[in-house]
Amino acid sequence: MMQWFGPAAPEYDERRALFNAMIDKRPRLIAACDGPADVKEALERARKERLRVAVRSGGHSVAGQSTNDDGLVVDVRPMKTVEIDASARRARVGGGCTWGEFDAAAQEHGLATTGGRISTTGVSGLTLGGGSGWLERRHGLSCDNLLAVELVTADGREIRADETQHQDLLWASKGGGGNFGVVTALEFGLHPVGPMILGGLMAWPADRGPEVARTFRDWADSAPDELGTGLVVLNGPPEEFIPPHLQGQPLVGVAVCWTGDEATGDDLVKVMRDLTPEIDLVGPMPYAALQSMLDDPPGLRQYWSADYHDTFTDEALEVFLDAGARRPSPLTQHLLLPWGGVLGRIDPESTPLGQRGARWVSHPFATWQDAVDDDANIAWVREYRKANAPFTTGGVYLNFIGDEGDERIRAAFGADKYERLVAIKSEYDPANVFAGNQNIRPRATHLKRRG
């Protein structure tokens, strides 16, 4: 049953809160929808009252695109069903599910698909934007495993897009963002994963950074597809598994997700182990536990960005580590992720995403607590991107960035795919009702702005 929440409702502040505490918007109405009929009712009310629309699932959009001021938020979080067909290796997932919820259900059968590295991220938002995760080098992005999507369009139609109908809309949903409708359900292909994998974190004091980073780059670049990994500059958290002398201290770490044969994984990880990490938490662990390893608590302030790289030279590593040493906040994580594997071998025309052949993604992930530190942390991300620019391809993965303008959106797709997305947007949402996202404007809007 539909529930409406306005500013006078006791639950209003909790309902409107997002992952990024920098976002403090006050919608006029929040419509908690538990099915397509509720979504249609909410969109009809938005039309009648001329309210701007935002769509909220996990609420992890760093730019706060899943809410608005004085508009209507379609909140799909009540749509929590997860149905696993283990024999067909197929899942049907409600539009309000998080990756933690999806992973838990699929892992009961030893199955998974590529999901986000933060367990509280919404399945729908991550998938619509592409879907990067630890399994991407073996099984592709989340969107590469998307078989069907069910959504409600701006004019209230319920549409199922799959390989037999609305194929253009299915293609657009594999990375084109939430531009085309409100997703109420998604269907995925699943793969045998876990429930136990070889995973965890190794870490060294930051002064070991150059040696560790160069070894990691060469190791990860040539690794088998079964290895998902990342280099991260962080501060040691105040946890019992961190030696007391490293708690609060800058570290360089390597995350590991190995989904192949355990003995082979042990041999592979030995390359990094031979550098004698002071923290070595890599071992057999549940895949679902690895999926929450990087979770941050809610209520923190966030500003992120990202860039693609074809190679990551010693000079690029120096810039990366120098920026890591100058992080204004001890909560910030500075990430370097290897792509390649299956992700780079999938037909580039099968999704809207551009530059699938990129080998690396750099991802400055600023996190802090106090609003007084906003300027310093935002400046840190921007200064790193400026110093890093000579080593980048110009492409970007949009789920890793905030609102950085139209040119960055175009760069994520390339000119031809962007124009194809504009055509699909013009068919399914010609009035740009769904503009609260990495927005692809329909042709009529383009013409109006030009005129």
**SS3 category, 53:** strand
Q: Token pair of 377, please? A: 């942390």
Cβ neighbours for 342, distance < 8 A, ≥ 6 positions apart: 136, 137, 138, 139, 140, 144, 225
Within its chain, how far is the Cα of 289 from the centroid?
Answer: 18
157 with 279, same domain: the answer is no
Residue found by looking up tokens 């085309």 in the block: 180
Number of domains in the chain: 3
The helices-and-strands tally (H runs, E runs) of the chain is 15, 20
Query: Rounded to whole angstroms, how far apart are CA atoms 64 and 435?
Result: 12
Within its chain, how far is the Cα of 134 from the centroid?
Answer: 11
CB-CB contact of 29 with 5 (8 Å): yes
| Backbone region of residue 226 per phi and psi (left: phi > 0; alpha: psi in -120 to 50; beta: other values) | alpha
Query: Rounded to whole angstroms, how far apart are CA atoms 422 and 427?
Result: 9
Angle in degrees, CA 168, 56, 110, rounded to 5: 75
- Residue 201 belongs to domain with CATH number: 3.40.462.20
Query: Rounded to whole angstroms, how far apart are CA atoms 268 and 402?
Result: 35
Mean pLDDT of successive 10-residue segments in the chain (451 residues)? Answer: 95 95 97 98 98 95 92 98 98 97 97 95 96 97 98 97 98 97 98 97 98 98 96 95 95 98 96 98 96 85 97 98 98 96 95 96 97 98 98 94 92 96 97 95 61 32
For 238, the domain range is: 196-400
Given the DSSP bridges, would you call strands 279-280 and 196-205 parallel, antiparallel or unpaired?
antiparallel
242 with 390, same domain: the answer is yes
Count of C-beta atoms within a 10 Å radius of residue 377: 23
128 with 163, same domain: the answer is yes
133 with 148, same domain: the answer is yes
CB-CB contact of 84 with 103 (8 Å): no
Domain's final residue, options 400, 430, 445: 400
- Residue 30 belongs to domain with CATH number: 3.30.43.10
pLDDT of amino acid 445: 53
Residue 418 lies in a domain: no
Residue 124 lies in a domain: yes
Count of C-beta atoms within a 10 Å radius of residue 284: 12
91 with 52, same domain: the answer is no
Count of C-beta atoms within a 10 Å radius of residue 134: 29
Residue 282 lies in a domain: yes
141 with 245, same domain: the answer is no
- Helices marked H in 109-244 — which ranges? 123-128, 136-139, 167-173, 209-221
pLDDT of amino acid 367: 97
Q: Where are the beta strands (DSSP E) in 322-423?
A: 333-338, 360-368
Query: Rounded to whole angstroms, how far apart are CA atoms 189 and 294?
Result: 25
Domain's final residue, options 32, 58, 75: 75
Count of C-beta atoms within a 10 Å radius of residue 221: 13
Given the DSSP bridges, would you call strands 29-32 and 72-75 parallel, antiparallel or unpaired?
parallel
Query: Rounded to whole angstroms, how far apart are CA atoms 225 and 88?
Result: 24
179 with 216, same domain: the answer is no
Angle in degrees, CA 13, 16, 22, rounded to 5: 95
Query: Rounded to whole angstroms, how far apart are CA atoms 132 and 335?
Result: 13
pLDDT of amino acid 63: 87
